[in-house]
Amino acid sequence: MPRTLLLLGLALGVAAATRPAAAGDQPRPGPPRPVEAPSKTTAGALTLDEAVKRATARNPSAEIAAQEIFRAEALAKQVRAAWLPTLNANGVYTRLDNDRELNGRVILAANQLSANLQLNVPLVAPRQWVAHARSKENIEVARAASADTRRAIATAAARAYLTVIAQRRVLSSAQRALNTARAHEEFATTRFEGGVGNRLDAVRASQERATAEVRVKTQLAALTRAQEALGVVVGEEGSLDVAEDPAFGTLPSMDAALGEATARRADVAVERDRVEVARKAVRDSWVDYLPVLSAVAQPFYQDPPTFSQPRTGWQAQLLLQIPLFDGGARYGLAAEREALEAQARARLEGALRQARSEVRVAFEAMRRADEALVGARDAATLAREALDLAELAYGAGATSNIEVVDAERRAHEADTAAAVAEDTSRQARLDLLAACGRFP
């Protein structure tokens, strides 16, 4: 009874609009404007595996990480050069104002030319040997860091890929809402023109159609941004689209994921390598106290020869250097290495703790996301059913189109919520695989 009175009051309030439409009373919704399709991408569509492979190969961060490996190898070559033989050629030309004479004999000519070859061969160089060993281990650290960078890039590419899928779902929901709004607008306009409906219903339907068009255009822009973001991560010049709805396969159990997180993750491996390098640096601090032995050979040429320097000749030396006192530099180096080892161990503990935490959070987030997805899909189904019932009631004249408009909005919101919940569930699975080291 209250609902009947409400509808009666609404009818009385718009009584002037319930008569047959005159020429000046016609609504002006205009013909429905077609919504533009998403602009064609310039780099095509990819599967998730293809996107990850391209991203890890072409992303600037991956290229920088690869160059860091080459840099570490170059530094190792520089360190190795310190204990390899070196050969240098030296030449000196000297011009005096006049010859130097003694008792009428020239003892030093005005023009002198000297040249020699100097060969330096380190025979015992323990510090250089140890430094070269550490530099080779730093190459492995750089490789592990590159793997960690590729892992981060692959995860970012997968997130961008899933974002494109989610934006397409949301766009599809908005387009369905627009199609429903157009059908409702056409029906309300036809009723008004036939003298059955009223102008308020027709205008309200047109307003809802216009609002739905705005939502579609907004989602088109959001989809374009997501596709461009995917193209940037993958390293393409232009936007990229998705070619599949990825499946992440069988997920590990909690215990298995916790174990894999500490054993397979690239960031944990990097910290372990750094701890090992720091530990060996501390262990080898004793070589700073060892002597250094080098051999030097030098053939020479002197023109003109002098009393003490024949025209040609050679000389050889053995140079022994025993570090006795250096002002405490070696003690300072040892203390610095110990501090670096302690820092590396602290970073490793933090990385392990963070990895295990991410696994626990990913499991909980995945469970909650799956539960939310079930509820969101049920809500979307019920909202579409409510929309169908509202349209039937309006078509039978049992109600105004307020209920239809409200049902359209609720159906769109429920569809959008279901798309967001679906994306959250996928992202949670990706987070779990990344947290335990199974992705990429």
Q: What is the mean pLDDT of residues 150-163?
A: 95
Decide: 328 and 146 in contact? Cβ < 8 Å: no
- Is pLDDT above 80 for 418? yes
Place of tokens 């793997």: 147
Q: What is the mean pLDDT of residues 47-53?
A: 93
- Is pLDDT above 90 for 26? no
CATH of the domain at 236: 1.20.1600.10
Q: What is the mean pLDDT of residues 122-138?
A: 93
Say if 97 falls within a structural domain: no
Cβ neighbours of residue 257 closer than 8 Å, sequence gap 6 or more: 359, 362, 363, 432, 435, 436
Domain range for 184: 28-85+126-288+330-435
pLDDT tens-digit profile of 211-247? 999 999 999 999 999 999 999 999 888 899 998 888 8
C-alpha neighbours within 13 Å on the C-beta side of residue 1 = 0
pTM of the model: 0.79
Say if 247 falls within a structural domain: yes
Say if 118 falls within a structural domain: no
Say if 70 falls within a structural domain: yes
- Which conformational region is residue 88 in: left (phi greater than 0), alpha (psi within -120 to 50 degrees), or beta? beta
Beta-strand relationship, 241-242 and 45-46: parallel
- Is pLDDT above 50 for 123? yes
Q: What is the mean pLDDT of residues 178-203?
A: 88
Measured CA to CA in angstroms, residue 253 lies from 250, 258, 359, 436 at distances of: 10, 9, 10, 10
What is the pLDDT, as a whole number, of residue 42? Answer: 53
Say if 6 falls within a structural domain: no
pLDDT band for 19, please (50, 70, 90 cuts): very low
Measured CA to CA in angstroms, residue 14 lies from 7, 195, 199, 201, 206 at distances of: 11, 14, 9, 10, 18
**What whole-number percentage of the chain has pLDDT above 90?**
69
Q: What is the mean pLDDT of residues 299-311?
A: 87
What is the pLDDT, as a whole number, of residue 398? Answer: 81
Helices 254-264 & 402-435 angle (0-180, nearest 10): 60
pLDDT tens-digit profile of 249-259? 888 999 999 99
Helices (H) and strands (E) in the chain, counts: 9, 8
Count of domains forming the chain: 1
Say if 104 falls within a structural domain: no
**Phi, psi at 115, each rounded to 5°:** -150, 150
Q: What is the mean pLDDT of residues 258-283?
A: 94
Of 29, 399, 398, 380, the closest CA to residue 190 belongs to 29
Count Cβ atoms below 10 Å from residue 286 Cβ, excluding itself. Answer: 11
Cβ neighbours of residue 345 closer than 8 Å, sequence gap 6 or more: 275, 278
C-alpha neighbours within 13 Å on the C-beta side of residue 98 = 4
Say if 19 falls within a structural domain: no
**What whole-number percentage of the chain has pLDDT above 70?**
90
- The three-class DSSP label of residue 112 is strand
Residue 327 per-residue DSSP state = T
Q: What is the mean pLDDT of residues 407-431?
A: 93
What is the pLDDT, as a whole number, of residue 5? Answer: 31
Beta-strand (E) ranges in 231-353? 241-242, 292-303, 312-321
- Calpha distance 387→415 (Å, rounded): 12
pLDDT tens-digit profile of 62-108? 999 999 999 999 999 999 999 999 999 999 999 988 888 888 788 88
- Is pLDDT above 50 for 13? no
- Calpha distance 188→408 (Å, rounded): 14
Cα-based torsion angle of the residue sequence 24, 27, 30, 36 in order, rounded to the nearest 10 degrees: 160
Q: What does pLDDT average to over the chain?
A: 87
Decide: 240 and 41 in contact? Cβ < 8 Å: yes
First-residue to last-residue Cα distance in the chain: 63
- Is pLDDT above 60 for 305? yes
- Is pLDDT above 90 for 381? yes
Say if 305 falls within a structural domain: no
Q: What is the mean pLDDT of residues 138-163?
A: 94
Pick the range with the lowest mean pLDDT from 156-160, 190-194, 322-326, 396-400. Answer: 396-400
Residue of higher predicted confidence among 399 and 32 = 399
What is the pLDDT, as a whole number, of residue 15? Answer: 33
